[in-house]
A and B are shown apart, each in its own frame.
Chain A
Amino acid sequence: MTNTTPSSPDSPEASIVSQDADAVAEFEEPKKTVLQKIQHFLHGNPAMVPVIILVISVFAFRLIAGERFFTAFNLSLIMQQVTIIGFLACAQTLIILTAGIDLSIAAIMVLASVVAGKLAVILGVPSVIALPAGFLVGTLCGLLNGYIVTRLRLPPFIVTLGTWNIFFALVIWYSGSQSIRSQDIDKIAPVLKFFGERVNIGGAVFTYGSFLMVFVFLFIWFVLNNTAWGRHVYAVGDDKEAAELSGINTDRLLLSVYGVAGLIAGIAAWVSIGRVGSVSPQSFYDANLDSITAVVIGGTSLFGGRGSILGALFGALIVGVFSSGLKIAGVDVIWQRFAIGCLIILAVGIDQWLRRVSA
């Protein structure tokens, strides 16, 4: 790993350092090829990589799929379609930054939505109680993951592989694997679908849910960069022992990270009811993997301690642009999947190439 040296531009504090590095590097510029210059620029600004891929892919699909792709409406529709994966990718990034991984994150969301939905629609509990109950379920599930990771010292992959199955079983048990119909929600607890409400801005149609997702991303981004807690998240992911030696209570920090991720999944549960229309225990079965895909394409290192939370948002959007563009171009579903696979490897490949830059 290259990111253990103190001057590494990979760490979040690096933007200032890397600007200095650029200034020094100007001496050698005539000797560099264009490719090396690009590599050097992106090395200093790793968060730009997913943004550039996103912009390139939007324009590429404008050529491939035509004008129907490049309308304000379709681009905003992509935003609607990635909203749920975006929420999960946000939670997933927090955990991956600590060098963990959460395979159970989508199951937590579905469990929270089933609990809130069943309480509100079937059992007639007021929504003001049912929805917080969903948040609570999400948070508790996250804390359970965190508790097992920190107290039993099991690898997060194994822990969440286990809890994924446990939460999923609880979903099926509690819901009887029955969806709660959209029309019944409208009749009894319409506030559950609040985040599915749409606003039209000059032909672009956004849901309240997409706004909330962007807000949550910006909020977490702010917290990660401007609070001690956020700094500690990066520190623990970068080098847990060093973080411990510098006085961070790593167990308590990890527990809080898993709890926050669970809470985000609980909020995503509310948004997902608006998105899907019904409370659906069978939806989002492999959204955990989709969230990891978004995080990885967004340039966050699976080894922890490196990456920007906003990368995950762009990662989710890139996947959304690809799948929308390929569908509108009429590409067979098999090859849509093939293309997403190539995209993952390409994105991580670019990331590795950038890290090999000779500073």
Chain B
Amino acid sequence: MNLFKKTALSVGVLTVSAMMAGPAAAEVGACLITKTDINPFFVKMKEGATAKADELGISLSTYAGKVDGDHETQVQAIETCIASGAKGILLTASDTKAIVPVVQQARDAGLLVIALDTPLEPIDSADATFATDNFKAGELIGQWAAAQLGDDAANAKIAMLDLAASQPSVGVLRDQGFLQGFGIDLVDPNRWGDETDPRIVGNEVTAGNEEGGRTAMESLLQQDPDINVVYTINEPAAAGAYEALKAFGKESDVLIVSVDGGCPGVQNVAEGVIGATSQQYPLLMASMGVEAIKAWADTGKKPEPSPGLAFFNTGVSLVTDKPADGVESIDTKEGMDRCWG
């Protein structure tokens, strides 16, 4: 018991001293808060931010939740940033609604808050949002799949492998974008799973990893073995779905589409595991975010959103080796050059 108390105490002391190691007062400080530091996407984001911060002489502190959905750690990180006197925060929020009050505290304290990758709800809760247009990312793979099938698109059997039951906005946008691109009525565009189009076999959640993708695909194949189009939330889920299809002997009759553009994912496109993927650019998001904080500290100028959008679009490209008419795409060679992770 005594030992336990001592351990608890020393952990406490460590935490306090870690929190005090903020940026020195003289230089411009910035914070990067990501959902996790597990996902290669956020690892790449951190790399981009760190490189740009070094270049501009900004002192960057980085924080991350323990898992996707770890809201509490992000709140603490923002509070720490405010206390450290940083000029700005780059944030990929786990809980896009619940984080708003503490983001407001930061803005009231004079910090520039930029949402990266994941818009807050409402989107103007942050000073600016630098993100992939996830709806557009979904739309591109939807259009590509429909074009590949041609007239057969009218009889497609579609499996939807989504992220999580809580329907985080990135998952909803990609899913609904895909359906829009494929030509399916969305019913409520803020929710997946409410569509009535008989071409959708079902929605399952994957947690965005291989194991989840495989189990979800097996379940949907059990509901309808004639599935011929598979939408996946990201490339690890797509790799898992492919394993399930292979086990059912169906890997050659099915189009798998995905979103992300990580290097293993693009490699899978090159080898025909995934038909097409929408590539996003986390490194660019982060480096632009750091530049914006620098500009805010120097001139007090806030970044402007892209014309016609509520956020600054950092771009998305369709990566495939089987280009379809009317859908702009890059090949896997270019995709490999620009991939992350």
Contact = CB atoms under 8 A, between A and B. Distances in A.
B39 A277 contact: no
Interface stretch (A43-51, A116-124, A326-334, A339-347): A326-334
B174 interface: no
28 contacts: A68-B222, A69-B222, A80-B218, A84-B211, A153-B3, A154-B4, A158-B4, A172-B38, A177-B40, A177-B43, A179-B210, A182-B242, A183-B267, A276-B214, A277-B242, A277-B246, A278-B236, A280-B211, A280-B240, A282-B39, A282-B209, A282-B236, A283-B211, A324-B219, A328-B219, A330-B223, A333-B203, A334-B165
A69 B264 CA distance: 35
Contacts of A158: 4
B212 A283 contact: yes
Contacts of B212: 283
B46 to A, nearest CB: 11
A178 B267 CA distance: 13
Contact of B38 (A77, A152, A272, A281): A281
B43 A277 contact: no
A275 interface: yes
A239 B32 CA distance: 51
A68 B224 CA distance: 9
Given A282-B208, A283-B209, A77 B218 contact: yes
A68 B271 CA distance: 33
Contacts of A152: 3
A127 interface: no
A182 B40 contact: no
A176 B341 CA distance: 9
Interface in A299-348: 324, 327-328, 330, 332-334, 337
Interface of A: 68-69, 74, 77, 80-81, 84, 152-154, 158, 165, 172, 176-179, 181-183, 198, 205, 272, 275-278, 280-285, 324, 327-328, 330, 332-334, 337
Interface in B234-281: 236, 239-240, 242-243, 246-247, 264, 267-268, 271, 273
Contact of A333 (B204, B214, B247): B204
B45 interface: no
Contacts of B264: 178-179, 181
A342 B249 CA distance: 36
B207 A276 contact: no
B38 A177 contact: yes
A276 B218 CA distance: 12
Given A178-B341, A327-B204, A330-B223, A278 B38 contact: no
Contact of A332 (B39, B193, B223, B273): B193
A333 B211 contact: no
A203 B203 CA distance: 27
Interface string B1-44: 00110000000000000000000000000000000011110010
B154 interface: no
B315 interface: no
Contacts of A284: 211
B168 interface: no
Nearest to A183: B271
The 7 closest A-B pairs by CB, nearest first: A277-B243, A283-B211, A280-B210, A327-B219, A282-B209, A333-B165, A283-B209
A77 B3 CA distance: 48
The listed residue with most B CB atoms (<10 A of its CB), out of A69, A84, A177, A284, is A177
Interface string B213-236: 011001100110000000000001
B53 interface: no
Given A152-B3, A282-B38, A285-B207, 7 more contacts: A77-B222, A81-B218, A177-B39, A183-B268, A276-B214, A327-B223, A330-B202
Contact of A277 (B66, B193, B223, B239): B239
B37 A172 contact: yes
A158 B40 CA distance: 30
A275 B40 contact: no
A77 B244 CA distance: 11
A153 B141 CA distance: 56
B2 to A, nearest CB: 10
Contacts of A154: 3-4
Contact of A81 (B38, B205, B207, B215): B215
Contacts of B215: 81
B67 interface: yes
A179 B271 CA distance: 16
A276 B243 contact: yes
B256 to A, nearest CB: 13
A183 B273 contact: yes
B190 to A, nearest CB: 16
Contact of B205 (A77, A330, A333): A333
Interface string B166-206: 00000000000000000000000000010000000011110
